[in-house]
Structure 1
Amino acid sequence: MSEKAAVLVAGSWGTALASVLADKGIDVNIWTRNEAQCREINERHTNERFLPGVVLPFNLVAVTDMEAAVRGASSVVIVAPSSAAREVARSLKPYWSENMLVVHATKGFETESLKRISTVISEELECEEGRIVVLSGPSHAEEVVKRCPTTVVVASLDDKEAAKAQDLFMHSYFRVYTNRDMLGAELAGAFKNIIALGAGMSDGLGYGDNAKAALLTRGLAEITRIGVEMGANPLTFAGLAGVGDLVVTATSKHSRNWRAGFMLGEGTPLDEVLSSMGMVVEGIRTTKAAHTISEKYQVQMPIASQLYHVLFEGMNPKTAVEALMGRDRKTEMEMMSIETWEQWHS
């Protein structure tokens, strides 16, 4: 009997991950609320809105009924936008069972509560957070569906659950590592979208490679600093979920966050940027969340702070760059507090 998996929902990344599983011979149900999208996937084996020009595996079947999607599935992969993660998990709850592997690949926070997506899912499923596995890393959906070599990380508090997820996704073109630092993997995957927005904005302003290289480097320091203060392992930010995902998201035209930042840098108003994208730009929501988180933990996030002023207070992008360049002199190693540094080296 063939292994079965359910993927929720049928956006670009969800479809790409479903394709990886289908390529392994797993029977995959991908859940969507959109009847037209469901018919397109089943009849034409395409998902043109999110992945134009791609032919999907024939053992990838779309359904609009949640019960039908998860019936007989040993694994459930949640790839909903951060704003919809709680609702999707709540819809899953009546049909979820304790023996199902639950993986999520959403990079963001629940904006209102500032909760990580693993926390949101565990609350709705009424299970321990250690039952959830986070999948993250440098992985454009557009390249995964073309079977380009891709490497990601799966992180969980439970080594057995992480190993199950590793076995589930490991394929000839899709290499998977495990990591016990679920917190760090989630934080890195979310916060890097802010820096990617900034990198796109820098390119839109025409500032060149020097500026972008500095932005990525100082951005990595910034997200490592806040991540460590929140309890993450600093080494996670030097790995696939950290610097790996940051590089791919901040330097590629495949990246929605980079594209949104580029348009902002060119002078396009935010509402026009969002309407033209047609898909969720997680970095915008995450910038708002990071503004509150940095205040809560009393950790400086200068890049995120200036982006917040641009996105939500109407600051001119050039003014934001001037503010960053005009900050007080610092030593480069001011990545974390002395207390935190000593804690990790004791």
Structure 2
Amino acid sequence: MADVALALTEGMLHFELSMAYEVFGAAPAGVTVPWYDVEICGTGALRVGRFLLEPDRGLDRLREARTVIVPGWADVDVEPPAPLVDAVRAAHEAGARVASLCTGAFVLAAAGLLDGRRATTHWAHTDVLAARHPRVAVDPDVLYVDEGRVLTSAGKAAAMDLCLHLVRLDHGSSVANAVARRLVVPPHRAGGQAQFVAAPVPARDDHPLGALLPWAIERLDRPLTVEDLARQAGMSSRHLGRHFRAVTGTTPLRWLLTQRIRRAQELLETTDEVVDAVAAATGMGTATTLRRHFNRTVGVPPDTYRRTFRSGTPR
């Protein structure tokens, strides 16, 4: 049984395929948890982008996988081929977790897996997806959507975010961060972050947020406010909010909360500090506050998260 099966047919995009294989194909140095067994599944020799590829297995192998990844579908004006759609549907019915990257969402939608669910795809094609599949709640303003056993991502870089999210679900934040370091990409961008922002990172060293973000991350144990950030950046709170939205796609407070939760995950995985101490170290104040935000963001209480990832047992 493959841990991860990459579902291919003629007309797929090579970038998303290559990226997924990079993430799941090999463990980063120093990571000792059992890593993924990855298989490329398709219908004989096929062309992906400009490359000719020979799959490891046929599409019927998908139903034996734990996770099925569907890369981007090149031409959204053409319906995905029935053998691929049927194989993805059968895999989900057999219990697989199914994730699409970029326009791979059109394959999941054709299989009926997105009916009644939130989903996303590349921002340039969200209108097409919504019009063709009206039972899908298409969200054009997020990087990825996690609906449990069905996950979808926006394009390119957001597909990497979803792959790292899957690693984080399976092996914890520390392992996902190690993968991100190997690939030299940001370790975590929340799925609810905007897809399309004017400047995803500060464009110049003298950008007002270029020094502010590291300054804030070094002080997560303090009860920082928007006013504190604005004062440090030398601007008004309203001006700061505009810069944050342009650079990160989110608000200063939501960005701060994301950083605090990330820090809490790392401490829960790598230390024996009690939850009260983790709450203090992440600026949450009390264990009650940490538990509320952690449970709402991660989906499980801090104690459960620690037991899961300290024991080495994936979720």
Fold-level similarity (TM above 0.5): no
Q: TM-score range by the shorter chain?
A: 0.3 to 0.5
Which structure shows the higher helix fraction?
1
Q: Which protein, 1 or 2, shows the higher relative CO under an 8 Å CA cutoff with sep ≥ 6?
A: 1
Compute the TM-score of the two structures, normalised by the length of structure 1.
0.33
